[in-house]
Amino acid sequence: MLRAIRGEKVERTPVWLMRQAGRILPEYRAVRNSVSGFIELAKTPELAAEVTIQPVDLLGVDAAIIFSDILVIPEAMGLPYEMVEKRGPWFPNTIRSSSDLKKLRVADPNEELGYVLEAIQITKKALNGRVPIIGFAGAPWTIFAYMVEGSGSKTFSKSRAALYLDPDFSHKLLEMITKSTIKYLKAQITAGANLVQLFDSWAGILPPTQYAEFSLKYIEEICNAITEVPVTVFAKGAYFAREALGKMNCDTIGLDWNMSISESRNLIGPDKALQGNMDPAALYGTEKSILSSVDEMMKEFKGCKHVANLGHGVYPDIDPEKVKLFIEAVKSFK
Amino acid sequence: MLRAIRGEKVERTPVWLMRQAGRILPEYRAVRNSVSGFIELAKTPELAAEVTIQPVDLLGVDAAIIFSDILVIPEAMGLPYEMVEKRGPWFPNTIRSSSDLKKLRVADPNEELGYVLEAIQITKKALNGRVPIIGFAGAPWTIFAYMVEGSGSKTFSKSRAALYLDPDFSHKLLEMITKSTIKYLKAQITAGANLVQLFDSWAGILPPTQYAEFSLKYIEEICNAITEVPVTVFAKGAYFAREALGKMNCDTIGLDWNMSISESRNLIGPDKALQGNMDPAALYGTEKSILSSVDEMMKEFKGCKHVANLGHGVYPDIDPEKVKLFIEAVKSFK
């Protein structure tokens, strides 16, 4: 995978899945049921390492992404969250104005996120170089959206309102998140991450001009700061930002399943590796339809730097056998 | 508005809002609270007409969109729904395979949707030509998604699975929906609708090739069948289909707030009117920020056929005074 990203010769296209650590595997659910919930699992380094490695052994993916959550950053900044079964994350407190900023600090990852770093170290040792470890963080806009909203949302009205009502406050909070994220990613790299990915899950909810001002600016700051390992940026839905992302100081751009591969390649240019982008719903299909979807994707990416993946995280109710079929089909593609 | 769409000379840009009939107005909520729920209101023609006209009087919009719901079509086909407060539509039964199709019929609007037609007739009489009436329907893919899923959904997994597992069934259901929709729109036109709009609310969830096969094909069939009045197509999130939509036999293309106006104009060409596309969240802003958002939008649309609107339905918690400010700013733009 690292060679593919650098554009060196590879025997075949590397493949992994977003959300591969967890959800779909019965072996994951067994570990998950041995503790009180998602957050306890993420905070127990031995178990986090175990579920990180499971898909390498059970599915045959070419990378291990550390089992964690993008919302550990708000927590490390002073804004704890809970994970409510079937409803998602929930923050008892939110950040809505400049005066709320006093409640927050720039995260010190060695102090507050030691459990993630320890999970990476244990994973590193256990993997013994078999596959690279992917560290990750949320992009500042996505983290901002949760901290202001206090939960997931269809419209993220409160977070988007803040951008119009108080751009000054918005930039201050985004700056604090950015500083925390840079420290956090660097600590993950020191602990053993071989590459890092930024997830801008709510990229697609902003108009292009706001996205440039309130998201791309901070992604760029992070890309410029992380020089130690390759950086992947996955900005879901931000089709309008592909050209700008192509100019960033990063190595790989993630594509979602709406993005035409050839158009994206033209907009982004030949230098970046592209990651993605089969429709996650295609794995609900028949064996025949899955093989045909893989074939279509692989043909379109052929001849350029490519890391095979879905266009979003694997859906929780997908049959692991279908995931294996996807992985095997990528691996055997000629 | 009709002259603007035809490209004739207009004194100023026409303006209306999606979801203007309802939600934001206290006068609407008073009527809504006098009945048992949303569906009873939609099925009582006098009241539906009353809330249809409210925004014309209270906000000063240039068109009245009939108060109804896109899900009246599944109901008229034999699949009734309920509107669950704060959770949205819910279908006690769903359509998942070819054998389920036997439960359905092509809708006969005069039989089953008489209440909508009557509401249009009452509105027409009451408006007495002051502003045109917009009739509407969901695009077949969006209606299909609800009929298969049985409710709203973050991923519409079951509907998307159906496209991969059973394309034959999918096309059969889409064809039935399309036939029903054509009859329904024609009946709305006969009752007095001066133009009609197709809402493809879940356009953005499909990969481009599937969108062409399972959505555009049927939108095209509808556009070709409706020759009596201008047709608007609003395919939210289907940025990848703008070029194809520009070739459809329709008059206006709706843009969401992610779509760059100049890029959309280039992709769609000069013949179609464009409708939209201010960020609905911009109305959470200050007076100053709203005026600046309107100004930015109006300048970018200048020189081409334009119907001013938001890029999506107005959010329910927007202050009606901010909506008036938006409308007044469009009207006074020079």
Cα–Cα dist A231/A250, whole Å: 5
For residue A282, give the chain B residue with the closest CA. B164
CATH code at position B45:
3.20.20.210
Query: Rounded to a whole number, what is the largest CA-CA distance in chain B?
Result: 58
- Helix axis angle for B217-225 and B140-149, nearest 10°, is 130
Angstroms from A14 CA to nearest CA on chain B: 23
Residues B1-22: tens digit of each pLDDT: 999 999 999 999 999 999 998 8
The per-residue pLDDT for B23 is 87
Mean pLDDT of B210-232: 98
Interface residues of B toward A, Cβ cutoff 8 Å, are 155, 157, 160-161, 163-165, 204, 206-210, 237, 239-240, 257-260, 263, 279-282, 284-286, 289, 293, 296, 311, 315, 317
Q: Which of these ranges, B62-71, B85-94, B321-330, has the smallest mean pLDDT?
A: B85-94
The per-residue pLDDT for B3 is 97
Cα–Cα dist A314/B286, whole Å: 40
Cα–Cα dist A145/A157, whole Å: 9
Angstroms from A297 CA to nearest CA on chain B: 12
Mean pLDDT of B261-271: 97
The per-residue pLDDT for A85 is 83
Bond before A33 cis per omega within 30 degrees: no
Q: Tell me how many residue pairs between chain A and chain B have CB atoms under 8 A apart.
A: 87
Cβ contacts of B36 within 8 Å, gap of 6 or more: none
For residues B333 and B298, is the Cβ–Cβ distance under 8 A? yes
The per-residue pLDDT for B22 is 85
Q: Residue B34 is encoded by which pair of tokens?
A: 């006098």
Contact yes or no for B164 and A281 at CB 8 A:
yes
Residue whose tokens read 């959550």: A69
**What ipTM, to 2 d.p.?**
0.95
Residues A182-235: tens digit of each pLDDT: 999 999 999 999 999 999 999 999 999 999 999 999 999 999 999 999 999 999
Phi then psi for residue B15, to 5 deg, are: -145, 140
The per-residue pLDDT for A210 is 98
Contact yes or no for A285 and B165 at CB 8 A:
yes
Cβ contacts of B254 within 8 Å, gap of 6 or more: B197, B232, B233, B234, B235, B236, B274, B275, B276, B277, B309
Residues B271-308: tens digit of each pLDDT: 999 999 999 999 999 999 999 999 999 999 999 999 99
Count of domains for chain A: 1
Angstroms from A246 CA to nearest CA on chain B: 18
Which stretches of chain A drop beneath a pLDDT of 70? none
Neighbour-count burial of B2, counting CB atoms closer than 10 A to its CB (0-12 exposed, 13-18 middle, 19+ buried): middle
Domain extent at residue B122:
2-331
Angle at A125 between CA A123 and CA A129, to 5 degrees: 90
